[in-house]
Amino acid sequence: MRGYLFTRAWQSLLTLFLATAVVFLGIRALPGDPALALAGEDRSPEALAAIRAEYGLDQSVFVQFGRFAWNAVRGDLGTSTRTGVEVTAMLGTALPVTIELALLAILLATVLGVGAGTVAAVRRGRPAEWLANGLALIGLSVPHFWLGLVAILYLSVSTGLFPASGFVPFLDDPVANLHHIVLPVVILGTGLSAVIMRQTRSSMLDALGTDYVRTAKAKGLRPRAVIGRHALRNSLIVVVTIVGLQLGALISGAVVTEQIFGLPGFGKMTIDAVFQRDYPVIQAVVLVTATAYIGINFLVDLLYSLIDPRIRVGGAAA
Amino acid sequence: MSVLTVRDLSVVFRTETGPLSVVDKVDLSLDAGEIVGVVGESGCGKSVTAMSLTGLLPSSANVTGSAVLDGTELIGAPESVLRRVRGREVAYIFQEPMSSLNPVLTVGRQIGEVLRVHEGLKRRDARARAVELLALVGIPSPAHRVDNYPHQLSGGMRQRVMIAMAVACGPKVLVADEPTTALDVTVQAGILDVLRDLRERLGTSVLVITHDLGVIADIADRVLVMYAGRIVERAGVHDLFAAPRHHYTAGLLAASPVPGEHAGTHRLREIPGLVPVLVTQPDACTFAERCAAAEDDCRVQEPRLDPPGGSGHGAACWHPVRQRRGAAS
Ligand SMILES: Nc1ncnc2c1ncn2[C@@H]1O[C@H](COP(=O)(O)OP(=O)(O)O)[C@@H](O)[C@H]1O
Ligand code: SF4
Ligand SMILES: [Mg+2]
């Protein structure tokens, strides 16, 4: 188990390094001179040269990357070329918003999705399955942004039950924080739950048809034990993958939801940086996204090995 | 004394293409401590018969007839009654020991589960009993193996785990459905030894289902021959091998082992023709299409086991084989 963890950690770091390098070089390869973008009005050769020197743009790409990587390792991601604010400070305010939104949404989606998926598989061909399938279809086909707008219209604007936009940090005021985040979480979570529900349903159906589930029934176990202990646990392996993928996508991709509900999160920060060609921020955003994906992948692998002992032993032997 | 008495057991599946008759008017009795073999080609309805006894078939199966276990009628009994019977009074061993065990739970947990649900044992006690049971079925260093996962055991070991799980609550009837089919020949004999040993020690009645006459010759006291959902012959193992009466049995035995021999590689010899898939059970001998001795009456009236309901040597055949084996050639 320890050997397995070590291998995975090492692989993760390598992947992170490669991902960062590719993006760093990719940005440098884009047409257009960043110095020009930074210079604003004064485009005299002297001014451009000064800017190049200040940002290290006169060095080779590899030196630039080395410096960026070394600074990043020390926790310095530079400053925004637009606002002059330290990028780490920007992340410090934006990330908690998105992480809270993503974690709560994925939690809701998992509970709803695994529950409804299990019911749909067990009650196959009965009303409960049709209901679950119908809801999943709606969840998959109705766009989040539209649902979000409808929710704002009816639950915020006309009734005032929930704030229509804005965010309050949890530590400042937990109640207000939850009050602000409830609507976005529900909108995002129910949408995601449809995917999880369908995956759970199909892997549950597979599991229910296996020989070991037949054995479990033949032992005289109650349906609850047959389903929960024997079938569900095996089908979770696939579900964990889906949840992991979605969580990764949420960290970078809650953009639309954040925009609609006016949440000052990571998605909004990304959009702004891209529109304003704020290179240090874009680089940081990519670095954080890659780290999130890799970290989540690592967690997913850990969960696999907790659920499935065959993976555990295979890794230890390697 | 009969532990299990099955009368007129029939199973019809509702399928998308209409009803499918899979088991037809099966009679069967199992005495205490007896090992009865059910033999027949793949697809003849052996597993469905076994599963129907404790209501383990999917809801598309319509099961009729009677199966009385120690005075309790099982066919049509409520789920709550059947759940108490399963694993405690009637236990199963299946063909594929790998896929029949849950890959994500330790074998100790899977054995302990039966004890916890039926005998209310605490986790710790269930584990201790699991170790004893592993020892009982001949698994070396059971205290260590109890924490293994199925993939860490060999095929033969896994089947021993299945057996340990099945006998955990001391069932009256053990149904072994192709218990050795997936295993190496050398391992097969060991598994059959375990079954025989359990019968001696615990007095368990065993229903061995197989398509392998070698297994029957090795372990069964009595034999039921099944063809296309019907029992076509019933006999003591020596009578069956010495003087088969049904032409299907005679065909099966044409290249067969001798009773009492250890299970070898004797598998069913091919009989020309196919096992019919029946929509309804005809009033005729279902073997007539493949039978060299068939006459007109075989196709217009169904032969029944003679004598019906008894346990003596009987065959469902209008023109039974008269010769003893070996006498003709
Ligand atoms: N759930 C089911 N639905 C329809 N037909 C089935 C079902 N289960 C088994 N059968 C059919 O019943 C027949 C007997 O199957 P089975 O009892 O498994 O044979 P075997 O003698 O090899 O154990 C086969 O033709 C099989 O296709
Ligand atoms: S009843 Fe007729 S067809 Fe059937 S096995 Fe006997 S002789 Fe052959
Ligand atoms: Mg079978």
Same-domain check for residues A168 and A223 = yes
CATH number, domain containing residue A136: 1.10.3720.10
Length of chain A, in residues: 318
Kindly report, residue by residue over A15-49, the tens digit of the pLDDT: 888 888 887 887 777 666 767 767 777 778 888 88
Nearest-atom index, ligand 2, CA of B294 = 3
Ligand 2: residues within 6 Å at CB?
A: B 246-247, 285, 287-288, 291, 293-294, 298, 303, 317-319
How many structural domains compose chain A?
Answer: 2
* Segment holding B180, helix H or strand E: none
Q: Is residue A318 part of a domain?
A: no
pTM of this structure: 0.83
Mean pLDDT of all residues in chain A?
Answer: 84
Alpha-carbon gap, residue A313 to B6, rounded angstroms: 46
Q: Where are the alpha helices (DSSP H) in chain A?
A: 2-29, 34-39, 45-54, 61-73, 87-122, 127-141, 144-151, 174-208, 211-218, 223-225, 233-253, 255-260, 266-275, 279-307, 309-317
CA of B279 to the centre of ligand 2 (A): 20
Strand partners, A79: A86
Alpha-carbon gap, residue B164 to B132, rounded angstroms: 9
Give residue A314's pLDDT band: very low, low, confident or very high (50, 70, 90).
very low
Q: Are strands B72-73 and B314-315 parallel, antiparallel or unpaired?
A: unpaired
Alpha-carbon gap, residue B110 to B242, rounded angstroms: 43
For chain A, the maximum distance between any two Cα atoms, rounded to a whole number of angstroms, is 85
What distances in angstroms separate CA A117 from CA A97, A130, A196, A238, A308, one per listed residue? 29, 11, 8, 13, 21
Structure tokens belonging to residue A97: 């918003």
Is the Cβ of A308 closer than 8 Å to some Cβ of chain B? yes
Same-domain check for residues A180 and A227 = yes
Q: What is residue A137's predicted lDDT score, i.e. its pLDDT?
A: 82
Which of B12, B38, B39, B48 has most ligand 1 atoms within 8 Å of CB, for mutation? B48
Domain limits for position B291: 221-329
Q: Is residue B241 part of a domain?
A: yes
CB spacing of B96 vs A211 below 8 angstroms: yes
Same-domain check for residues A211 and A282 = yes
Same-domain check for residues A136 and A251 = yes
Same-domain check for residues A61 and A127 = no
CB spacing of A230 vs B88 below 8 angstroms: no
Kindly report, residue by residue over B101-148, the tens digit of the pLDDT: 999 999 999 999 999 999 999 999 999 999 999 999 999 999 999 999
Same-domain check for residues A43 and A139 = no
Q: Is residue A197 part of a domain?
A: yes
Find the closest chain B residue to A233 by CA distance. B104
**ipTM of the complex, rounded to two decimals:** 0.88
How many structural domains compose chain B?
Answer: 1
Domain limits for position A51: 20-73
Structure tokens belonging to residue B31: 């005495």
Kindly report, residue by residue over A112-164, the tens digit of the pLDDT: 999 999 999 998 878 888 888 888 888 778 887 788 888 888 888 888 788 87
Answer whether residue A289 shows pLDDT above 90: no
Q: Flag the least confident range among A1-15, A120-134, B15-29, B48-62.
A: A1-15
Is the Cβ of B107 closer than 8 Å to some Cβ of chain A? no
Same-domain check for residues A208 and A114 = yes
Q: How far is B167 from chain A, CA to nearest CA, in Å?
A: 11
CA dihedral sign of residues A264, A268, A272, A273:
positive
Residues of B in contact with A217 (CB under 8 A): 56, 86
Q: Is residue B184 part of a domain?
A: no
Q: Is residue A13 part of a domain?
A: no
Q: Is residue A290 part of a domain?
A: yes
Q: Where are the alpha helices (DSSP H) in chain B?
A: 46-53, 79-85, 97-100, 107-119, 123-136, 142-145, 155-167, 185-202, 213-219, 237-242, 247-253
Q: Is residue A78 part of a domain?
A: no
Query: Is the Cβ–Cβ distance between B53 and B123 less than 8 Å?
Result: no
Nearest-atom index, ligand 2, CA of B318 = 1
Answer whether residue B265 shows pLDDT above 70: no
Alpha-carbon gap, residue B77 to B211, rounded angstroms: 30
Q: Is residue B250 part of a domain?
A: yes
Nearest alpha carbon, ligand 1 atom 9: B48
- Considering CB atoms only, which of B86, B94, B151 is closest to A211? B94
Mean pLDDT throughout A287-297?
86
Kindly report, residue by residue over B186-241, the tens digit of the pLDDT: 889 999 999 999 999 999 999 999 999 999 999 999 999 999 999 999 999 999 99
CB spacing of B149 vs A307 below 8 angstroms: no
Q: What is residue B132's predicted lDDT score, i.e. its pLDDT?
A: 95
Same-domain check for residues A145 and A64 = no
Q: Is residue B159 part of a domain?
A: no
